[in-house]
Each structure stands twice: as structure tokens, then as C-alpha cells.
Amino acid sequence: MDEHVYGRYSAQNSTDPRNVASKQGGYITRSQLRSLGLSDDAIKHLTRRGFLIRTYRGVYAVGHTPTQPLDRAHAALLAVGERSALSHASAASYWGIYKDWREPFHVITPLKRNPADITVHHCVTLARADVHVDQLRVTSAARTALDLTPQMTDTRATRMVNDLRVRRLVTREQLSSVTIRNPTHKGAKRLTTIVLGSQREPTRSELENAFMRIVSRYGLPTPKINQHVCGYRVDFQWPGLIVEVDGYNAHSDPAQFTRDRRQDREILTRTGIRTIRFTYDDCVDTPHSVADTISRAILDRRYVQGLPFLPQGPELRPQPQPLHGGHQPPFRSEPPAGPYR
């Protein structure tokens, strides 16, 4: 835009609207323009000349319409007003939960405002701890997880929480805190269940999530996740037993296949702990067989005591021993009745 288009108004105030807009993704509000000394007639003139481009009611792009999602999100926040923050799907895009940006933008606010072309969520009790301020105001990763949980299946919500934890964007403590601050939120109960069922270390892939669903479905003891043994990071560990779940890459890559077997041998030799490996097809197609194998292994003293797995005759074979105080919990040969059916 040529300088003369704005020049007649710049003399009224030393602050150029472009300087204000540059800090707000390229946008400015009508009230900010007025504070710079521009009258309503001046604003109309600049709009007709194309120097100001109306985006939302009372919000204008300066000089050109920004194309980057983060810049455009500034306009949505300006339209809703102070104390607002990107939320729900828009916050999910900011935190990388969604891979793309979707419009209309979602904004949460304690104010009673509903600008057109923006999805507004009203929350009178939006806590300061639930808002992250960086380039713009957006709900924290924990609050975003809380807002998204009601819209997701249990599997998708669990994967979202794991992904956020793996990327060090949120902790179990922060997730617990956000549910405590918002006990009546629609997602509070489900998110609490996910957090209580999670380990201190998150699972790192959908395959590992599928394995944990087998553990829960068939009533197996909860393993430790992503532990370090002999310098190797292992997927799941019980006393005397390691379980690794292998994706297709482990089978298609000969070098990875060799490294995995070398790892298994070294751990067995140094600790006496045997590793059992399951494939993607095992976990998805035959979960009962996976659960049965693990149950038998856990009940075998060779694994529980961490002794080497060596061939033994019938008369030397140790009998399964109770794991907890003399009471042996029965292994469920079928999944329990209920929502997992």
C-alpha cells in the first residue's frame, strides 16, 4: 500500500498502526485505531482504499490479510476481547494434537461475547494456570486435553495424553491439577480415569497403547513402562519378565531385527530376565493369546525370581506360586463383562 494512503492520518499521531498490528499478527482493533487518533471517517476511508481489511467486526488486517494460521488466530482473539484464549480444536492445533489448523477458530472467554464466524466457549472460572501465554493466549496443554476429552473415544483420548507426555508438554501432576480445578467439566471424570490408569512414564506408540488395553482388559498386573535395563529401554517390565511389542519396522529391517535379538541375549545373560516379544498382529488379532502367555510367564517362578530360562525336567520344574500374600488371583480366560465386550 502506498504511503500517501495513510500519510494524512499519521500526522495526527506518532504511532503508526502498522507498529501496533505487527505485535498482533498483523491485525488491529477499531478501539486501538481510535486511540491512535483516527476518526470513524478516517477508518472508513482507509477501509475503502484497502489499507484496512475488515476481518471480524471491529477487527482489521493492516495492509494485507495474513495467511499464517497463528497470525489469523490473533484476529479471533482480538474480536472476542481481553482475557480470551484459543481453546479446543484451535489449541489442539497449537499444541500439535491436530496436524492442521481448522477454522472457524475456537476461543474460550469469561466475557459474554459471540462474534460471528468464531466458535466461542464461555467459562466464567477460567484459571490463570489454565492459560499459556507465548506468541498469543492459548489454553494450557493440560486444559486443552480436558476440553478435548469429551469429544474423543477412550483410545483416542489416551493416545492424546500419552503424546503430550512423551513430548514433555504436560505432566501427570498438571493433568490431575486441571481436573481438580474444574471438577464439573464434562471431561474431568474421563481424564481422571486416564491419568490414574497411566504410569509415571508414558507409552510411546499406539502399539504400546494397544498392549496396555490388553493388560487392563484381561486383569493382568500393571507393568512398569519404558524402563532401562542394562542400558536398554524396554517397553514393559514385570519382576523377572520383559515384554517388547514390535511394529512392522522391526520385521522389515534386518539390522533392527538383529539389534533386538542382541539386546534380548545381553539382558538374559546379565540379569537372567527373559524377553518375550509380540507383534502388532499378536496384539490386535489374538489379544487373549498374548494375555495367556504373559499370565503363565508371570506365574512361573523362573521369571518372577529372575532365574535363567533353562530346560528342566518335570520333576525339577518349579510350580507356580502365589504373587500376593498367598492369594493367587485367577487369570481371566475371557474378558470381563462390561464396556470392553
Query: Where exactly are the structural domains of the chain?
Result: 3-62, 74-196, 206-304
**Predicted local confidence at residue 1, as pLDDT:** 41
Give the whole-angstrom CA distance, residue 315 versus residue 176: 51
Higher pLDDT, 270 or 323: 270
- Say which range, 117-121, 169-173, 324-328, has the weakest mean pLDDT: 324-328
**Predicted local confidence at residue 31, as pLDDT:** 95
State mean pLDDT over 83-90. Answer: 96
- CB of 273 closer than 8 Å to CB of 306: yes
**Predicted local confidence at residue 15, as pLDDT:** 67
Give the whole-angstrom CA distance, residue 283 versus residue 101: 33
Matching CATH number, 206-304, of 3.40.960.10, 3.20.20.70, 3.30.1330.80, 3.40.630.30: 3.40.960.10
Higher pLDDT, 66 or 200: 66
**Predicted local confidence at residue 199, as pLDDT:** 67
What's the chain's length in residues? 341
- CB of 207 closer than 8 Å to CB of 283: yes
Residues with Cβ within 8 Å of 215's Cβ and at least 6 positions away in sequence, in order, are: 221, 222, 223, 291
pLDDT per residue as tens digits for the range 38-84: 999 999 999 999 999 999 999 999 999 999 999 999 999 999 998 89
Read off the DSSP letter of residue 84.
-
Give the whole-angstrom CA distance, residue 291 versus residue 95: 35
- 249 band by pLDDT with thresholds 50, 70 and 90: low
Amino acid at 132: H
- Say which range, 67-71, 103-107, 194-198, 291-295, has the weakest mean pLDDT: 194-198
- CB of 267 closer than 8 Å to CB of 229: yes
- Mean residue pLDDT of the chain comes to 83
107-132 burial: b if 16+ Cβ within 10 Å, else e: bbbeeeeebeebbbeebeebeeebbb
- CB of 229 closer than 8 Å to CB of 273: yes
45-70 burial: b if 16+ Cβ within 10 Å, else e: bbeeeebbbebbebbbbbbeebeebe
- What the block records as the C-alpha cell of 254 is 534386518
Give the whole-angstrom CA distance, residue 258 versus residue 125: 55
- CB of 323 closer than 8 Å to CB of 221: yes
Higher pLDDT, 10 or 286: 286
Could you tell me what percent of the chain has a pLDDT over 70? 80
Distances in Å between the Cα of 307 and the Cα atoms of 31, 266, 315 are 75, 14, 17
Write down the residue that cell numbers 492442521 correspond to: 100
**Predicted local confidence at residue 252, as pLDDT:** 56
**Predicted local confidence at residue 327, as pLDDT:** 45
Question: Which one of 124-138, 235-249, 319-333 scores highest in mean pLDDT?
Answer: 124-138
State mean pLDDT over 13-36. Answer: 89
**Predicted local confidence at residue 38, as pLDDT:** 92
**Residue 267 pLDDT > 90:** yes
- 126 band by pLDDT with thresholds 50, 70 and 90: confident
Give the whole-angstrom CA distance, residue 35 versus residue 289: 71
Question: Which one of 51-65, 122-136, 211-225 scores highest in mean pLDDT?
Answer: 51-65
State mean pLDDT over 245-261. Answer: 74
Pairing of strands 106-109, 85-86: antiparallel
